[in-house]
Amino acid sequence: MPGFDFASWPPTLSKVQLEELTVYATSYALSHGLLYLPPVLPLPTVPSAAIHAPLALFPSPIPRRLFEKAQKLQRIYNILYSRVALDEAFLDKVMGAEHGVGKVDDFTGQLWRGWKALRDEGINQLQHLGIFRSDYLLHSLEDQEPALKQVEFNTISSSFGTLSQRVSELHRYLHKATSYYNVSPHLRPDRFPPNKTIAGVASGLAAAHAAYSSSKDTRILVVTQDNERNVFDQRWLEYELLDKHSIRMVRQTLTQLGRTGRVDPATRKLYIDVPTDLEPAGFVEVSVVYFRAAYTPADFPTPAHYTTRFLLERSTAIKCPSLPLQLAGGKKVQEVLGQAGMLEKFLADGKKYSQVFSSEEIQELRSSFMGMWGLDVGEDMLLPDVEAAKSGKESFGVRKAREEAKSLVLKPQREGGGNNVYKEDIPAFLDTLPPQEREAWIAMQLIVTPANVGNYLIRAGSVSGSSESQTPVRTDVISELGIFGWSLFGDDGGDSKVEEDTVGWLVRTKGTESNEGGVATGFSVLDSILLVD
Binding site residue list for ATP: 152, 331, 411-420, 422, 444-447, 480, 510, 516
Catalytic one among 83, 133, 166, 400?
A: 133
Chain centroid, CA 204 distance in Å: 16
Residue in 72, 76, 156, 75 with CA at minimum distance from that of residue 337: 76
Whether 455 contacts 56, CB under 8 Å = yes
Sheet holding 421-422, edge to edge: 372-374, 442-445, 408-411, 421-422
**Active-site annotation holds for 402:** no
Q: What is the DSSP letter of 103?
A: G
**Active-site annotation holds for 154:** yes
Catalytic one among 152, 238, 313, 394?
A: 152
Residues 6+ apart with CB under 8 A from 175: 187, 189, 192
Residue in 283, 219, 224 with CA at minimum distance from that of residue 254: 224
Catalytic one among 33, 258, 416, 461?
A: 416
> CA torsion angle for 215, 500, 497, 495 (degrees, to 10)?
-140
Catalytic one among 78, 134, 140, 159?
A: 159
Neighbouring C-beta atoms of residue 387, cutoff 10 Å: 11
Task: Give the E-state strand segments of 102-142 in sequence order.
Answer: 127-139
Neighbouring C-beta atoms of residue 396, cutoff 10 Å: 19
Give the residue ranges of the annotated binding site for Mg(2+). Answer: 152, 154, 415
**Active-site annotation holds for 203:** no
> Three-state SS for 338?
coil
Task: Please tell me the distance from the alpha carbon of residue 321 to that of residue 129, in angstroms, as a whole number.
Answer: 6
> CA torsion angle for 380, 382, 384, 385 (degrees, to 10)?
10
Catalytic one among 82, 154, 168, 455?
A: 154
**Active-site annotation holds for 152:** yes
Give the residue ranges of the annotated binding site for substrate. Answer: 133, 156-159, 228-230, 234, 292-295, 508, 519-520
Catalytic one among 149, 309, 331, 438?
A: 331
Catalytic one among 83, 251, 411, 438?
A: 411
∠ Cα 516 517 523 (to 5°) = 85
Catalytic one among 508, 517, 524, 528?
A: 508
Given CA atoms 226, 231, 233, 239 in this order, what sign does their dihedral have?
positive
**Active-site annotation holds for 415:** yes
**Active-site annotation holds for 416:** yes
Give the residue ranges of the annotated binding site. Answer: 133, 152, 154, 156-159, 228-230, 234, 292-295, 331, 411-420, 422, 444-447, 480, 508, 510, 516, 519-520
Catalytic one among 415, 438, 479, 500?
A: 415
Task: For 203, list phi and psi in degrees, rounded to 5.
Answer: -65, -35
Known catalytic residues are: 133, 152, 154, 159, 331, 411, 415-416, 508
